[in-house]
Structure 1
Amino acid sequence: MPGARAVLVGTSTYTAGLPQLDWSAANITDLYDALVDVFDPGGLHALVDPPTTQVVFDRLNLCASSPADILLFYYTGHGLRDDDDRLCLALPGSVDVPRHARRTSLPVDSVLEILRHAPAQHRVVILDCCYSGLVLDSPAAADLHLLSATNRTRKAEYRTEARNTEFTGELVRLLEDTSGPLDLGTVYGHLDRALRGRGLPRPRQRCVDHSAELVLRPSRFPSA
């Protein structure tokens, strides 16, 4: 898809007391593979266990520095809440203490500010982490299409025997198994039905104008 860029960030290894999340590394690998034919050559960036916020900001700023049709940010890992109940995206050294969460993690507000000012026609944020619905409360989320794995208070789900988290595993299956074009509204509808049908947290979506009609992935296979 011309003019499409994405930054996929996953944290699976933690050094300051948070539980390890092997599923996050697998999420990044599998989502990258499902999207690699959608984005511009060199436009799809995967970061696993970035050591600092600056590493993420540098890559995101690079993708946001010039006009694009789509700019997508995806995160998978632990979601933390700071002492103002704002969402922070955990990095390897993050501390799960509200007063230290913002200092040691990737504040979602900072990510949204970069996206909000990017010269992209469509800006999309997908979060697979606990409390990811808190992104809906951020003032910086205006004019961004948001998709979160859960609401403001629930944790994201995974099964110990599975390769992926429940949310991203279902997203990857949809991208791989559907031959026709997939717009964001269809993606959300499928995730909502599939996850609720298994008694899992209900994902959340916020659209901007007609952003639900945005095609995330064109037809997977050329028509005969």
Structure 2
Amino acid sequence: MDELTAPDFSRSRAILVGTSEYKYLPQMPAAANSLDRIKNLLTGPLCGWPSEKVDVFLNENALGDLSFKLAKMIVETSDVLFFYYVGHGQSTLNEDLCMGLVDTSADPVEREFSGLLMAAIRRMLSHSRARVRVIVLDCCFSGIATENRQGNSDEAEYFADIAKVSGAYTLTASEAHAPARYEAGPSPLTQFTKNFCDLIQHGIPGEPLPLTLNLIFPHLRDRLLEQSLPAPTQLNIDRGSSFVFARNAVSPELRFDPRVEVERLRIALREAQERESELRNTANDLMNELNKLRSRSSSSQDRRDLSKAEVDRNEGNGKPDSDTWDFFVSYTGADLQWAEWVAAVLEDAGYRVLIQAWDFVVGSNWQLQMLHGIRSSARMIALLSSSYLSSVYGQSEWQATLRADPDGIQRKLLPVRIEDCPRPGLLDTIVSLDLFGLDEDAARRRLLQAVAGAVSGRVKPSEKPKFPFR
């Protein structure tokens, strides 16, 4: 493991700042709840920070006292420095980020002297001895902090100084001039912190045990965009993103272990080489047999029969490999009847289908079966419904398939709506199929036509199009 990724908590510090009460800005209860949520995540078993190394500043009034405390802590930290802010963010006249405190003014001029400026934090960090410095900002306009605007003298000095020390990473809740969001209700959270903490606490299937910031970011971005929430931004300087933020909460079977994967590929390569040798021998035997048959054949009919035999042998009579499937049906338990109907229609049409209800028998490991099915199926049919879209496992399945074919060239992910529901985020970019509102015969025809087009890459009508008389 890279030495940059191994934190020494005895020389590290997490600084959490949040403002939920304001004199001149709207109140924001979600900030206090989010501050508490991120503290619990850091001090929990997945991140492992000692509670005495996590300093919380909630609803600070005086900028001077707070700046002095922050500067002292930042300069004294020599290993990992983690800074988090949640509250109202504003843009200054110089396009710097102003993080709101209780007394922060709404006036564009006065706010520069009553709020916590990002430029001030950067100057403090430029004097820090910490080898890993992580900044997480959950506020409006927070993306200003990830813009490398070298024309600004303060920022130019900051980037020049910080480049001399390895390990700096900034993560923000929104783009430079975009608002952040928070929930309504009795115990609201900010959407960014809620989704960030949920992602870590649920774990990320397909990723290794140590979750670095560069592994977390694309999953967090996808999760927020799927809910039509603001897109987060990041800025990494000299491997700061390789800092291990947390342990992956998913079970070992769902993690990606590089050592296990290397061994799996080594075994697969050896088996493929052995199979290649067997197939070569079989092909030679078949060719010898074919030559013998040809030598005995005198009629054109015999030659046609022999040609057909040759094709059958070379193509294996169209039978798929026993460990592969044409389609994997992804669904949630509430849609079992739809899933079984789709699987039956496809199998009746000659396709090989993997479906949990039929193939995950007693005694099998359903998590490994699910992972194997996703990897070994040519395509996934995702049955979209409101229940499926709220399912954590359903989301993990279609996202894993989309990562394997992000541009859709192989058409590996086939979204099929079985009720009138939205296609959030990235699902909205993929051509889908609707089966709801049809009778059974119409639904069967539409399904078979769609999958045939996905396999062949084209849906051309069997009859010649008519001339468009006008």
Q: What TM-score does the superposition give when structure 1 sets the normalisation length?
A: 0.90
Cross-structure match for 1:122? 132
Aligned to 1:210: 239
Aligned partner of 1:178 in structure 2 is 203
Whole-angstrom distance in 1 between the partners of 2:83 and 2:143: 15
Corresponding letter in the other structure for 1:26? N
Query: Residues 112 and 40 from structure 1, CA distance in 2 versus in 1: closer, same or farther, beyond 3 angstroms?
Result: farther
* Counterpart-to-counterpart distance in 1, 2:235 and 2:106: 27
Cα separation, 2, equivalents of 1:153 and 1:134: 7
Counterpart secondary structure, 2:109: helix
Aligned to 2:181: 157
Residues 127, 101 of structure 1: alpha-carbon distance in 2 compared, 3 angstrom cutoff: same
1:220, distance to aligned residue in structure 2 (A): 6.2
Letter in 2 for 1:12: S
Contact 1:81–1:101 (8 Å) recurs in 2 = no
What CA distance in whole angstroms lies between the structure 1 residues aligned with 2:50 and 2:123?
23
Q: Which has the higher contact order (CA 8 A, sep 6+)?
A: 1
Query: What is the CA deviation profile of residues 87-118 of structure 1, one whole-angstrom value per residue up to 9, with x for unaligned ones?
Result: 11010111112111101111111012112211
Partner of 1:75: 85
Counterpart residue number, 1:15: 23
Single out whichever of 211-220 and 169-178 deviates more from structure 2: 211-220
The structure carrying a bigger helix percent of its residues is: 2
**Distance in 2 (alpha carbons) for counterparts of 1:99 and 1:41:** 38
Which of 11, 16, 24 is the equivalent residue of 2:31?
Answer: 24
Choose which of 97, 100, 107 in structure 1 pairs with 2:117. 107
Task: Answer yes or no: is the 8 Å Cα contact 2:75–2:124 preserved in 1.
Answer: no
Shift of 1:39: 2.5
| CA 40–57 in structure 1, closer or farther in 2 if over 3 Å, else same | farther
Q: 1:166 aligns with which of 191, 211, 229?
A: 191
In the TM superposition, what is the alpha-carbon distance from 1:195 to its structure 2 partner?
A: 0.5
Paired residue for 2:65? 55
Q: CA deviation at 1:198?
A: 0.9
Please, which runs of 5 or more residues in structure 1 have no aligned partner? Answer: none
What amino acid does structure 2 have at the position aligned with 1:20? Q
Q: CA deviation at 1:170?
A: 0.8
Q: Percent identity?
A: 26
Gapped regions of structure 2 (runs ≥ 5) = 1-6, 148-154, 253-470
Cα distance in 2 for residues equivalent to 1:12 and 1:98: 20
Q: Is the 8 A contact 1:6 1:63 kept in 2?
A: no
- The alignment status of 1:34 with 2:41, answered yes or no, reads yes
User: Counterpart in 1 of 2:230?
Assistant: 201
> Would you say the 8 A contact 2:19–2:60 is kept in 1?
yes
Alpha carbons of structure 1 residues 66 and 159: separation in structure 2 relative to 1, 3 Å: closer
**2:215 and 2:242 mapped to 1: Cα distance?**
8
Retained in 2: the 8 A contact 1:43–1:63? no
The 1:4/1:177 distance shift into structure 2, 3 A limit, reads: farther
Higher mean alpha-carbon deviation, 59-68 vs 23-32, is at: 59-68
2:226 & 2:194 partners in 1: Cα distance? 15
Deviation at 1:40, TM superposition (A): 4.2
Contact 2:81 2:130 in 1 (8 A): yes
Q: Does 1:84 align with 2:94?
A: yes
Q: Distance in 2 between matches of 1:53 and 1:39?
A: 27
Residue equivalent to 2:441: none
Of 179-188 and 212-221, deviating more is 212-221
Structure 1 range deviating more: 146-155 or 182-191: 182-191
The answer to whether the Cα contact below 8 Å between 2:87 and 2:138 also exists between their aligned partners in 1 is: yes
Name the CA distance, whole Å, in 2 between partners of 1:194 and 1:122.
Answer: 26
Residue equivalent to 1:43: 53
Bigger drift between 145-154 and 31-40 goes to 31-40
Provide the C-alpha distance between the structure 1 equivalents of 2:190 and 2:117, rounded to a whole number of angstroms.
22
Deviation, structure 1 residue 52:
1.5
Aligned 8 A contact 1:146 1:205 in 2: yes
1:187 alignment partner in structure 2: 216
- Larger Cα-atom Rg: 2
Give the CA deviation at 1:82. 1.4
Count of residues in Structure 1 that have an aligned counterpart in Structure 2: 222
